[in-house]
């Protein structure tokens, strides 16, 4: 049995993994840079070790991290998401040093991390894919000819891309010629490889993904789907499980596709198969994420299955605890990524000290956070500082619970996306459950309504209200 896990990450996901370890009687080891010295995951773990002064590179040095895991007496490592979570080198080094990597093997990570290899594997398995290039584009001339063949608009994508980076939509040849070198540059800087491929652009699709679990004995199941259509610049903002837009027949179909995809590549551990659903209700494979997703909380909420604990069990060689027929869901869950950003100022990051923080509560409310009153959000990392997940029996109920929980959640000292999400909850298109990936850009007016009161103004308003009440 796994007895001690090094958590090769930071922030709320590191706290989440530490909590899973605690419930399983497993010791947890945190790592941190100087910038994260006072981070919550450092306080929560059984042990914590400094990995240097560089705020980013410390979390990206696979050799140092695995050496630390060995020195600390760990027998497993959990990569979380982001950083090295989809880097096959970390998985490979763990295997060489006798550390169990809580995720798939390096070969699968490499195959599915390369968009061309992943696409070809899915085509071979009979999974529908968007029309596009058979491999990396040789040059802009090849890109121009292919775009003319499959028709505009098209998407230029970094072969090793992810997280919304290295992607450009081209509506005509002029935009293609202008964007080609930009994507090459983005791919080189962000992923170290100047390789780009092309796909036909599915206009205003719905973004639907399926959570899968697969063990080392060859069994694989799905935990139903999540709707990730509410996004900005290819970055997810709100995630929902199950999708309010699918019929049961569509749900069964896409779930079976995801399991088929996992088995086709010999997948092991938790993963996510992402699809686009076009206006004619055709599903197309987009990519496979070989790690735990930010939005795993909504799946846990509707199914009652602890995905992180399942990851650990699978890495320990145990078979899946559930058969597909035993996996059921109840109600709807919605997750809001609470980002330290100012929606009214182009979603500019708003890092700094959290002077006061009040977490929401009540039935069907879950908070995954790494912040607390007095915590200083460092400027070196992603702007997400918390995840709010709500559950209710039906779609109208989860919207109202989300609206109430967002109102309960108060963060002073930095700007957040909370007011913006409150406006989305009011919009009739969202409330109807019929929306697609164009929702955010189609409703720029919602940003103008997202009013954030400075703490001083809020305090003054409360004092005035109390004084008026006492004067009656």
Question: How buried is residue 336: exposed, middle or buried, by Cβ count under 10 Å (0-12/13-18/19+)?
Answer: buried
**Bridge partners (DSSP) listed for residue 238:** 230, 336
Which of 336, 411, 419, 337 minimizes the C-alpha distance to 374? 411
Which tokens hold the place of 115?
């968009």
At what angle are helices 307-315 and 296-303 packed, to 10 degrees? 100
Task: Please report how many Cα atoms fall inside a 13 Å half-sphere around the Cα of residue 237, on the Cβ side.
Answer: 25
Report in angstroms the alpha-carbon separations of 201 from 130, 157, 210, 276, 417. 8, 11, 21, 10, 29
219 Cβ neighbours under 8 A, 6+ residues apart: 319, 320
Q: Assess whether the previous peptide bond of 361 is cis (omega < 30° from 0).
A: no
CB 190, CB 158: distance < 8 Å: yes
Which tokens hold the place of 52?
């240097």
Please tell me the distance from the alpha carbon of residue 370 to that of residue 45, in angstroms, as a whole number.
13
CB 30, CB 49: distance < 8 Å: yes
Q: Can you list the positions of beta strands (E) in 340-462?
A: 341-342, 348-349, 352-353, 356-358, 365-369, 376-377, 384-392, 410-412
Q: Please calculate the CA angle 328-331-332 and round it to the nearest 5 degrees.
A: 115
> Any idea how long the chain is?
472
At what angle are helices 62-71 and 88-96 packed, to 10 degrees? 30
Instruction: Calculate the CA dihedral of residues 434, 123, 287, 254 and round it to 10 degrees.
Output: 40
Cβ atoms within 10 A of the Cβ of 233, count? 10
Question: How buried is residue 296: exposed, middle or buried, by Cβ count under 10 Å (0-12/13-18/19+)?
Answer: buried
Which tokens hold the place of 84?
């090295």
Active-site residue list: 291
CB 198, CB 147: distance < 8 Å: yes
């Amino acid at each position: 049995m796994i007895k001690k896990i090094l958590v090769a990450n930071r922030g709320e996901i590191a706290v989440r993994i530490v909590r899973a370890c605690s419930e399983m009687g497993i010791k947890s080891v945190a790592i941190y840079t100087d910038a994260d010295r006072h981070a919550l995951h450092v306080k929560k773990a059984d042990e914590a070790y400094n990995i240097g002064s560089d705020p980013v590179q410390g979390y990206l040095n696979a050799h140092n991290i695995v050496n630390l895991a060995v020195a600390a007496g760990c027998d497993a490592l959990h990569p979380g998401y982001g950083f090295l979570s989809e880097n096959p080198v970390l998985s490979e080094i763990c295997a060489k040093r006798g550390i169990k990597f809580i995720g798939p093997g390096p070969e699968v990570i490499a195959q599915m991390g390369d968009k061309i290899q992943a696409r070809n594997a899915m085509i071979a398995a009979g999974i529908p894919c968007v029309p596009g290039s058979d491999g990396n584009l040789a040059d802009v001339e090849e890109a121009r000819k292919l775009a003319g063949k499959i028709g505009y608009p098209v998407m230029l994508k970094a072969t090793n891309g992810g997280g919304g980076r290295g992607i450009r939509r081209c509506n005509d040849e002029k935009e293609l010629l202008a964007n080609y070198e930009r994507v090459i540059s983005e791919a080189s800087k962000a992923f170290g490889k100047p390789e780009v491929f092309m796909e036909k652009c599915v206009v205003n699709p719905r973004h639907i993904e399926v959570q899968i679990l697969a063990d080392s004995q060859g069994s694989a199941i799905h935990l139903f789907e999540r709707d990730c259509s509410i996004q900005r610049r290819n970055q997810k903002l709100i995630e929902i499980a199950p999708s309010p837009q699918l019929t049961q027949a569509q749900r069964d179909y896409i779930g079976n596709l995801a399991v088929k995809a996992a088995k086709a590549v010999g997948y092991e551990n938790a993963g996510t198969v992402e699809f686009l659903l076009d206006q004619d209700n055709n599903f197309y494979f987009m990519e496979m994420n070989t790690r735990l997703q930010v939005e795993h909380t909504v799946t846990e909420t509707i199914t009652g299955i602890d995905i992180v604990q399942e990851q650990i069990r699978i890495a320990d060689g145990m078979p899946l605890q559930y058969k597909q027929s035993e996996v059921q869901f109840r109600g709807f869950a919605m997750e809001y990524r609470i980002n330290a950003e100012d929606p009214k100022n182009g979603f500019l990051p708003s890092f700094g000290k959290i002077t006061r923080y009040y977490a929401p509560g009540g039935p069907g409310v879950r908070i995954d956070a790494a912040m607390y009153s007095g915590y200083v959000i460092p400027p070196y990392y992603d702007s997400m500082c918390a995840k709010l997940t709500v559950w209710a029996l039906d779609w109208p109920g989860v919207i109202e619970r989300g609206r109430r929980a967002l109102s309960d959640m108060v963060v002073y000292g930095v700007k957040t996306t909370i007011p913006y999400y409150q406006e989305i909850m009011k919009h009739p298109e969202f409330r109807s459950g019929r929306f697609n990936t164009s929702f955010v850009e189609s409703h720029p007016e919602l940003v103008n309504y997202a009013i954030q009161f400075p703490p001083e103004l809020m305090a003054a308003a409360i004092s005035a209200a109390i004084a008026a009440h006492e004067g009656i």
